[in-house]
């Protein structure tokens, strides 16, 4: 029984087999200032849309990052880089998925739950190619500088389509790109061997974890599978356009700086008043009901890094099951698993209990973003089966703490989150169901302070 467990114990006694403590992995030091510059200006993806065409077709962005030169005209999630043949191109950067505006405030590290991966982008990709052709000609260096991204997008786009808007297919993207690489030289393979049916293209929807939590974590990803060198794990994004392992070595060095920068990110603080007495009552409830998995927060913070087994957490199993079916052995024997800063994939049978700093800002909740707000996360019976939000970044509810939404009678539209789809389930994590409404209100008041 969970109740028999001693929440203050740091040891995993036989009684506490529902959770496993994730050990620390040593990380490379890096320079956070250089890391930030590389994150928002670096050339980890070296193919894109020629900048002349890009700036002609799109109005100038807001320059949220206050970048200079030709970057100044771009919205935060784009970077101008020089392609290997010397052409200046625009490509997406990490902030496409790892930053978002919330109630008018731009927050780096907040997972983007607005972006729409539910559409097939093939026709857009081809249309851009036609525009480059018309503007610069068929054999132009500009067209050449777009070609890698064009070809790779055509390949991956149909394989990473989510069923609803607001969830992310990054795990599938990494999987597809990994399969098209020679494990050791990382050279592109046009026709990789066929894969077994069960590993095939089920697109697993996930939310995007807030990056300010990284400094507390001993493992990356919802399943806690990312072990060893974090910088190496996160440079997988460059697999999109990377030439080979010699280029990977150069990018890898710079990602130690990116990692150092990510460690400096802070959780955004609650923008409104707090009822202190109520929050204190909530803190007591949190200590009794939640600390044994999520750890202590605030000045005496102690984050225990627990992975919680599926049979206890009971949330949607698909991500965990899928990651365990994907071959970690191949990764271990690849370029990523070699050398002094090796990374490993060790997916466990469950999900990590994340730190809850800045939790008020990171709706929707659970690893698949299936629950719209804290109120329903803490009362599983109230969770909507089909729900729709406006995807307007100011449409946030400060009472229920999460997105405003409307219940729907059925799904079938990508704007409606459909929890009956495989991988999209909203079950489990029912640990607060027995609380009274008053206790739940107190608990939410406390969570706002984290």
> How far is Cα 67 from Cα 40, in angstroms, rounded to an integer?
9
> How far is Cα 194 from Cα 201, in angstroms, rounded to an integer?
12
Q: How far is the CB of 268 from ligand HEC (least distance, A)?
A: 14
Q: Are 334 and 83 in contact (CB under 8 A)?
A: no
Q: Indicate the residue among 229 and 289 with the shorter CB distance to ligand HEC.
A: 289
Q: Are 337 and 232 in contact (CB under 8 A)?
A: no
Kindly state whether residue 161 participates in binding ligand HEC, applying the rule CB under 6 A.
no
Region 366-395 residues binding ligand HEC, contact defined as CB under 6 A: 366-367, 377-378
Q: Indicate the residue among 136 and 248 with the shorter CB distance to ligand HEC.
A: 248
Stretch that binds ligand HEC, among 129-137, 310-318, 339-347, 411-419 (CB under 6 A): 310-318
Stretch that binds ligand HEC, among 23-31, 149-157, 285-293, 385-393 (CB under 6 A): 285-293
> How far is Cα 165 from Cα 168, in angstroms, rounded to an integer?
8
Q: Indicate the residue among 45 and 128 with the shorter CB distance to ligand HEC.
A: 45
Q: Are 359 and 406 in contact (CB under 8 A)?
A: no
Length of the chain equals 450
Kindly state whether residue 432 participates in binding ligand HEC, applying the rule CB under 6 A.
yes
Q: Indicate the residue among 132 and 235 with the shorter CB distance to ligand HEC.
A: 235
Q: Look up residue 11 and give its two tokens.
A: 């040891």
Stretch that binds ligand HEC, among 137-145, 263-271, 364-372, 411-419 (CB under 6 A): 364-372
> How far is Cα 9 from Cα 27, in angstroms, rounded to an integer?
27
Kindly state whether residue 359 participates in binding ligand HEC, applying the rule CB under 6 A.
yes
Which of these, 292, 225, 244, 213, lies nearest to 9 by C-alpha position?
A: 292
Binding-residue total with ligand HEC (CB under 6 A): 47
Binding residue (CB under 6 A) for ligand HEC from 248, 258, 318, 345:
258
> How far is Cα 297 from Cα 443, in angstroms, rounded to an integer?
13
Q: Are 366 and 377 in contact (CB under 8 A)?
A: yes
Q: Are 363 and 374 in contact (CB under 8 A)?
A: yes
Q: Residues in the site for ligand HEC, rule: CB under 6 A?
A: 44, 94, 96-98, 168, 170-171, 173, 206, 208-209, 211, 213-214, 217, 220-222, 234, 237, 258, 262, 289-290, 292-294, 308, 312-313, 315, 351, 353-354, 356, 359, 362, 365-367, 377-378, 429, 431-432, 443
């Amino acid at each position: 029984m969970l109740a028999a467990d001693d929440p203050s114990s740091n040891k995993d006694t036989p009684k506490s087999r529902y959770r496993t403590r994730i050990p620390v992995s040593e990380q490379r030091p890096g320079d956070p200032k250089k890391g930030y510059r590389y994150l928002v200006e670096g050339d980890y993806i070296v193919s894109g849309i020629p900048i002349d065409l890009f700036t002609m077709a799109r109005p100038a962005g807001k320059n949220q990052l206050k970048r200079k030169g030709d970057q100044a005209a771009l919205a935060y999630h784009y970077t101008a880089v020089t392609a290997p043949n010397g052409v200046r191109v625009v490509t997406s950067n990490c902030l496409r998925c790892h930053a978002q505006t919330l109630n008018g405030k731009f927050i780096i590290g907040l997972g983007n739950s607005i972006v729409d991966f539910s559409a097939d982008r093939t026709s857009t990709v081809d249309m851009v190619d036609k525009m480059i052709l018309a503007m610069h000609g068929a054999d132009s260096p500009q067209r050449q500088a777009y070609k890698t991204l064009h070809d790779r997008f055509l390949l991956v786009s149909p394989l990473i389509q989510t069923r609803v808007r607001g969830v992310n297919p990054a795990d599938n993207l990494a999987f597809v790109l990994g399969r098209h690489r020679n494990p050791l030289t990382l050279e592109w393979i046009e026709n990789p061997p066929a894969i077994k049916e069960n590993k095939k293209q089920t697109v697993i929807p996930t939310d995007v974890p807030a990056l300010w939590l990284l400094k507390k974590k001993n493992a990356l990803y919802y399943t806690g599978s990312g072990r060893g060198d974090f910088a190496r794990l996160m440079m997988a994004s460059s697999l999109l356009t990377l030439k080979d392992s010699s280029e990977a070595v150069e990018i890898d060095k710079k990602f130690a700086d990116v990692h150092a920068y990510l460690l400096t990110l802070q959780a955004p603080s609650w923008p409104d008043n707090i009822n202190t007495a109520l929050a204190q009552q909530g803190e007591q409830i949190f200590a009794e009901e939640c600390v044994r998995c999520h750890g202590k927060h605030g000045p005496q913070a102690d984050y225990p890094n627990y992975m919680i087994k599926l049979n206890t957490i009971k949330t949607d199993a698909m991500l965990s099951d899928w990651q365990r079916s994907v071959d970690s052995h191949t990764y271990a024997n690849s370029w990523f698993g070699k050398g002094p800063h090796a990374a490993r994939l060790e997916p466990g049978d469950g999900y990590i209990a994340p730190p809850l700093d800045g939790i008020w800002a990171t709706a929707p909740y659970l690893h698949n973003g299936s629950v719209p707000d804290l109120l329903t996360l803490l009362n599983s019976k109230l969770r909507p089966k089909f729900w729709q939000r406006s995807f307007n970044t100011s449409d946030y509810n400060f009472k229920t703490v999460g997105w405003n939404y409307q219940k729907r009678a059925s799904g079938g539209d990508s704007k409606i989150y459909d929890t009956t789809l495989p991988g999209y389930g909203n079950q489990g994590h029912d640990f607060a169901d027995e609380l009274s409404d008053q206790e739940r209100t107190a608990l939410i008041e406390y969570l706002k302070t984290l």
